[in-house]
Structure 1
Amino acid sequence: MMKKNVSFHALIFTLVFVVFPTLAIYGQATARQEIKVDSKVLDAYVGQYELTPEFILTFTREGDKFYTQATGQPKIEVFAESETKFFLKVVDAQLTFVKNNDGRVTHVILLQGGREQYAKRKEPEQLPIFPGVQFKKTEVMIPTRDGMKLHTVIFAPEKITEPLPFLMTRTPYGVDWMNSGALNQIHSELVSDGYIFVFQDIRGRYKSEGTFVMNRPLRENRTDPKAIDETTDTYDTIEWLLKNMPNNNGRAGIFGVSYPGWTSVMGIIDPHPAMKAASPQAAMGDTWMGDDFFHNGAFRLTYGFEYVYSMESAKDGNDFRHDRYDTYDWYLKLGPLSNANDKYFHGKLPTWENFIAHPTWDRYWQSKALDKIVTKVTVPTLNVAGWWDQEDFYGAVKTYLALEQYDTQNLNYLVSGPWNHGGWGGRGDKLGRITFDSDTGKYFRAKLQAPFFAYHLKGKGSLKLAEATTFETGSNEWKSYEAWPPKQNYTTRNLYFHNDGRLAFDAPTKDGEAEHDSYVSDPKHPVPYRPRPVQATYSQGSTWNIWLTQDQRFVHNRPDVLSWETDALNEDITVSGQIIADMFASTSGTDSDWVVKLIDVYPDEWPQDRSMGGYQLMVANEILRGRYRKSFEKPEPVKPNEINEYKCDLRWADHTFKKGHRMMVQVQSTWFPLYDRNPQSYVENIFKAKESDYIAATQRVFRSKQFPSHLILPIKNK
């Protein structure tokens, strides 16, 4: 979704096409109401606007259509939602023209990913023509084995000097928007190497025939020649391409971000013999265990509600319209999850119905989990993850680990960088307020992704990929590992909770149940997961794309959030690998959620940027629903006030806590409306809970010799 810097001046256009493949190819842009405006209104805005002397936006009118073009980039059509506000359809970006008191247009405001930038109007000049590769576009309906046809757009270079491989993306988000200019911008490194690009609407989406099934499971009878799934649709597509598209070299690759990352993995389970390389990026690995819809049994309310509505209320996407700006209030007003059907969905969304029918990690979810269905590795695979991916970090790494079990030929690789969801498509030098000192996105695309595909699909160059290549945040350096998580050169250490909010590597020595910290968790007043107002996930101005890097001080003084903190570190500490919270706690209720965050606290004085003094950056975080403390398949209530051990996997990190920084742990029991509220009184199915089931509960976190709550950290040796 969003990401960028260079001061943000290339934002809307270098970002429009490079940072935002997740909104264009891979995701959903905010739906807006397009209106027609008089040509005289458009003429008033025609001209050039300067972000920097090197980066100019030019606006032109052609008939009743309005366009913008950035320095050295292709023209993009702009659409009106009022006489002063305009938007782009390929990404979630808005432009507002501003006039002075005399009615003269003085500048345009660019709003994208929650960030604004002003471009001052200047005298018009002709921009250079974009010099990219020209493609011939072919639009076809490719038949599949059960007779359905899949809408496919193919881009072959107009000048082909040698047979080229196919490089395909299969997406539920529509492909009609793609053109030569966008292709050159989004995949410039791959375009320069030479491929025939294939973009396909998956079954039941946009112009493709058939019925859409969210994360369609593998066909049960894999010997039935008419049985279909995403694997067979990929196979049939490649078969058709090889036979019908000229000038191909007989090889195909597949890649994509998010849902297209998931379809990429599905395409290599029973692969076509011509499938020679795959790069699943931010793949939805297990949407119950750790990706889009649930984390450890806790329902991801905003994303589950809004995404499912968008995907299943219309074949070509349809955003849900909230009647208030702050969705924290909106979801609180919604009340229990059972109200969603009564008020809005009325049983018409299949995935929502499956949420209700399958609240536990049963066979329904396991049949869709990639780590449960991949059983071999025959196609070289480059898995890509982002440390601050707000949607599918778990799935990306888990898919790599699942494939690794069967990788006997060293065909499986992992790259993880300082990115949000799909952020490697942009510069990758900044995420929110956090900077990384280099263009990490360009490094990935040019040094890792492009050589990977060139080697396997074109037989060119030499491949020098490490088993795992990660960007170590904090130190801001790329690292190579022989395995992930690393198996050498690290020591496991426990970081313990102590009294007075102290966090330390020495274990508690005091004993007794009095050694605890407590708070009251009230479902009527849940802890917000990002600063309010909490805009709808993909709405204009939403900080969804950067929230995982937002300063956590906004909740630090809440009475229902506990914090423990180390002294200022006297040396760098690097955490590389899997982080586990091992916590002893009790609740006065019969169910409870436990949210744990590992935070890097910047020094109060930060000379590099004074505004970053005291900043609290999340490095790892996760939630565990108490009913699943023993089994994700067989939940059970919690005995009131009984001390239980809760082990919560905070997933993975590669981060250096710098000398002078502090390490912090926060614990809370609500994270709203990212996650639904736990009633805190046990009900068999929270999707059927009543308002009366929601109660306040007293939570206690213990830190004694007998009950030593702590984090288990893999710390890199010096």
Structure 2
Amino acid sequence: MRLSRILPVLLLWGRAVSAQPATAAPAAASYSLTESMIPMRDGAKLYTRILAPTNAAGPLPIMFVRTPYGVDGNTAASVAARWGFMARDIARNGYVFVFQDIRGKFKSEGQFVMQRPPRANRADAKAIDESTDAYDTIEWLLKNVPNNNGRVGMTGVSYDGWTTAMAMLDPHPALKAGSPQASPADMWKGDDFHHNGAFRLSYGFEYATMMESGKDVKQFNMDAFDTYEWYLKLGSLKTVNEKFLKGTIPTWNDFAQHPNFDAFWQRQAMAGYLNKVTVPALHVAGWWDQEDFYGPVTIYRELEKHDRENKNFLVVGPWNHGGWMGGEGASLGPIQFGQPTARFFRDSIMAPFFARHLHPEQRDVAGWTLPEALVFEAGSNVWKRYDTWPPKTAVSPRSLYMREGGALGWEPPTTTAPAYDAYVSDPAKPVPYRQRPVQMTYGPGSTWRTWLTEDQRFVHNRPDVLSWELPTLTDDLTIAGDLTVTLHAATSGTDADYVVKLIDVYPDTGMKELRMNGYQFMVANDVFRARYRKDPQKPVPLTPNVPEAITIDLHTQAYTFKKGHRVMIQVQSTWFPLIDRNPQTFVPNIFEAKPSDFRAATQRIYRSKGQASRIVLPVVTGIRP
């Protein structure tokens, strides 16, 4: 199926954003459409749709979105429906909305380059990148869009969020505010294509083929309903180009040629470019974003190091990828939040943020303030305001240790003899990352957008998954801040992956919905490819059966484990087909692994004194909503 046919539903706000109805717009909203091919400094022309209110009382600011997903779906009717919250109450006259196909996609000229890095030679007047394309477009808009007030804002989710962040690196003087939402920041360390060097197979393959099979967007024709089986039958990743792609997908070739954090990935990573806060910035993330949670938090943190004027802000809510831009946000999968979190964000955070910076007459919005960090604390289901993120006060890092008998404990183990729990990880029988059948990422009926909320009982007590639990909580346990896990691990092989999940186990009885009794809700998680434990640029093998300390970043979270619940840690070594299969035999490049390299291995997680595997939780004390 050509994905472009369902693009307005799935991808208007980024990759696979919710198709729930958006907030209704005022009935009087009416827009006129102008189409333009805007010239860039190197001569390429970019297709742009300009939708301006027909009843504006005075000059209006411009709201600008740049996307690789096609802009034809942006019509007067869709803009009125989807962007109505921006034109209601605070900014009654609204905005001129501008949507642009980025270079090389759909109706725009030029060559598309996935995550095009910033130009190397800034002195070259013809050198281009996403920042220069945004700059040149804004310059043209100011001169050619009637009745504009000379102020521009940019926003977008996912890739569109990334183009916003890129425009903010070297902004046009008229760019007065930006909101990069769910923007990737590092495609090797923590966003779409890799996590800590572990390749995100199903997403990487399906997204690269979707974006690079032509100027439009279309899915790879996968002849299987359960992609778990399809990817398993691939065998070694060498077969992808040999059997299917034949070298025609540039991003897949990059995956295969750059498995390590080399100069290719370093040039793309945003951290090295985030050395100043150029415009007021509203960074937005979702705790259960299945694609880009690492990115927006990382961009915020890097910019915060240079924020001298208090114009760098972070909002994190209980959302999946882009879930804040559609629907009510009162739930995600079966998890209930008791309030319309998405509508609250749109009406009470995003709309006044842009009104303050783009409508001079609305500069002082009565009664509206934005804290440094506004985060939703799920579990207790309350919004929390913080002066910094992560919080620097009223939080006590506490270690929770993996103990004997599948227990977790606040006290470290005392035994000096080697003690461990073990499992056999077999690449021929990998643990699925979501319940089978695993549909294509953007296929009909796919559970991709909510898989992070799936009940983890579907893998609990598998022989290749270890679990440890705290006793039932007698008081609420609230965390706010960064999570880290240290595993003292050994393998009988020479390479390994380690997947760690922090889980909220609901009470076994008494829940309102029967299926929520005993529900295992994954609060935080990530994977680490152990070959990179010493250096992400230079992988080294593990020594068989010799334990080593491996630290895994579970990122950041604000969450309350309620009284009567239990805290669980799960560890496994496969997460398929989200993560490619580690052969568990060290090879220089896993994309070149032979079938004979894939071998079962015994994994040991140690829990003795001196080798105490643990998670460090940022436990909150004395904080009130």
Q: 1:219 aligns with which of 106, 119, 144?
A: 119
- Superposition pairs of residues 558-577 of structure 1, within 5 angstroms: 558-577=462-481
Q: 2:304 aligns with which of 392, 399, 404?
A: 404
Separation in structure 2 between the aligned mates of residue 71 and residue 626 of structure 1, nearest angstrom: 43
Listed one character per residue, the Cα deviations across residues 425-463 of structure 1 (whole Å, up to 9, x for unaligned) are 121101000010000001001111011000001121335
1:498 aligns with 2:394: no
Amino acid at match of 2:14: Y
- Superposition pairs of residues 597-636 of structure 1, within 5 angstroms: 597-636=501-540
Q: Is the 8 A contact 2:467 2:568 kept in 1?
A: yes
Partner in structure 2 of residue 87 of structure 1? none
SS in 1 for 2:448: coil
Amino acid at match of 1:338: K
- Superposition pairs of residues 271-286 of structure 1, within 5 angstroms: 271-286=171-186
Q: 1:368 aligns with which of 268, 277, 287?
A: 268
Partner in structure 2 of residue 637 of structure 1? 541
Partner in structure 1 of residue 65 of structure 2? 169
- Structure 1 pair 699/651, CA: closer, same or farther in 2 (3 Å)? same
Amino acid at match of 2:56: I
Partner in structure 2 of residue 450 of structure 1? 351
Amino acid at match of 1:169: V
Q: Is the 8 A contact 2:23 2:85 kept in 1?
A: no
Separation in structure 1 between the aligned mates of residue 420 and residue 444 of structure 2, nearest angstrom: 43
Amino acid at match of 1:695: R
TM-score, length of structure 2 as denominator length: 0.95
Cα shift at 1:628: 0.5
SS in 2 for 1:606: coil
Partner in structure 2 of residue 131 of structure 1? 27
Separation in structure 2 between the aligned mates of residue 439 and residue 621 of structure 1, nearest angstrom: 25
Separation in structure 1 between the aligned mates of residue 613 and residue 204 of structure 2, nearest angstrom: 32
1:469 aligns with 2:374: yes
1:441 aligns with 2:332: no
Separation in structure 1 between the aligned mates of residue 24 and residue 549 of structure 2, nearest angstrom: 56
Partner in structure 1 of residue 383 of structure 2? 478
Amino acid at match of 2:416: D
Q: Is the 8 A contact 1:494 1:712 kept in 2?
A: yes
Separation in structure 1 between the aligned mates of residue 104 and residue 36 of structure 2, nearest angstrom: 16
CA RMSD between the two structures = 1.8
Listed one character per residue, the Cα deviations across residues 152-193 of structure 1 (whole Å, up to 9, x for unaligned) are 001000111011000011000000011122112222211333
Listed one character per residue, the Cα deviations across residues 119-173 of structure 1 (whole Å, up to 9, x for unaligned) are xxxxxxxxxxx82511001110000000000000010001110110000110000
Separation in structure 2 between the aligned mates of residue 380 and residue 21 of structure 1, nearest angstrom: 30
Q: 1:186 aligns with which of 65, 75, 82?
A: 82
* Structure 1, unaligned runs of 5 or more: 1-15, 31-54, 56-69, 75-129
Q: How many residues align?
A: 607
SS in 1 for 2:518: coil
Cα shift at 1:717: 0.6
Separation in structure 2 between the aligned mates of residue 327 and residue 266 of structure 1, nearest angstrom: 34
Separation in structure 1 between the aligned mates of residue 487 and residue 380 of structure 2, nearest angstrom: 29
1:301 aligns with 2:201: yes
Separation in structure 2 between the aligned mates of residue 29 and residue 319 of structure 1, nearest angstrom: 16
Listed one character per residue, the Cα deviations across residues 400-430 of structure 1 (whole Å, up to 9, x for unaligned) are 1111111111110000000000000121101
Separation in structure 1 between the aligned mates of residue 341 and residue 81 of structure 2, nearest angstrom: 17
Listed one character per residue, the Cα deviations across residues 540-587 of structure 1 (whole Å, up to 9, x for unaligned) are 111000000010000002100000000001111111111000110100
Q: Is the 8 A contact 2:23 2:343 kept in 1?
A: no
Separation in structure 2 between the aligned mates of residue 71 and residue 497 of structure 1, nearest angstrom: 45
1:314 aligns with 2:214: yes
Partner in structure 2 of residue 127 of structure 1? none
SS in 2 for 1:510: coil
Cα shift at 1:593: 0.1
Q: Is the 8 A contact 2:13 2:158 kept in 1?
A: no
Separation in structure 1 between the aligned mates of residue 439 and residue 505 of structure 2, nearest angstrom: 26
Cα shift at 1:609: 2.4
Moved over 4 A (4+): 70-74
Amino acid at match of 2:338: D
1:343 aligns with 2:331: no
Partner in structure 2 of residue 658 of structure 1? 562
Q: Which has the larger radius of gyration?
A: 1
Listed one character per residue, the Cα deviations across residues 104-130 of structure 1 (whole Å, up to 9, x for unaligned) are xxxxxxxxxxxxxxxxxxxxxxxxxx8
SS in 2 for 1:420: coil
SS in 2 for 1:268: helix
Amino acid at match of 1:447: S
1:552 aligns with 2:418: no
TM-score, length of structure 1 as denominator length: 0.83
Partner in structure 2 of residue 23 of structure 1? 11
Separation in structure 1 between the aligned mates of residue 22 and residue 268 of structure 2, nearest angstrom: 44
Q: Is the 8 A contact 1:367 1:373 kept in 2?
A: no
1:690 aligns with 2:591: no
Q: 1:530 aligns with which of 415, 434, 443?
A: 434
Q: Is the 8 A contact 1:575 1:655 kept in 2?
A: yes
1:489 aligns with 2:477: no
SS in 1 for 2:500: strand
Listed one character per residue, the Cα deviations across residues 362-382 of structure 1 (whole Å, up to 9, x for unaligned) are 111111111121211120000
Separation in structure 2 between the aligned mates of residue 71 and residue 674 of structure 1, nearest angstrom: 30
Separation in structure 1 between the aligned mates of residue 113 and residue 28 of structure 2, nearest angstrom: 37
Cα shift at 1:29: 9.2
Partner in structure 1 of residue 3 of structure 2? none
SS in 1 for 2:11: helix
SS in 2 for 1:545: helix
* Structure 2, unaligned runs of 5 or more: 1-5
1:429 aligns with 2:330: yes
Amino acid at match of 2:514: R
Listed one character per residue, the Cα deviations across residues 223-248 of structure 1 (whole Å, up to 9, x for unaligned) are 21110000000000000000001100
Identity of aligned residues (%): 55
Amino acid at match of 1:166: I
SS in 2 for 1:241: helix
Listed one character per residue, the Cα deviations across residues 626-668 of structure 1 (whole Å, up to 9, x for unaligned) are 1011111111000000100000001111000001100000000
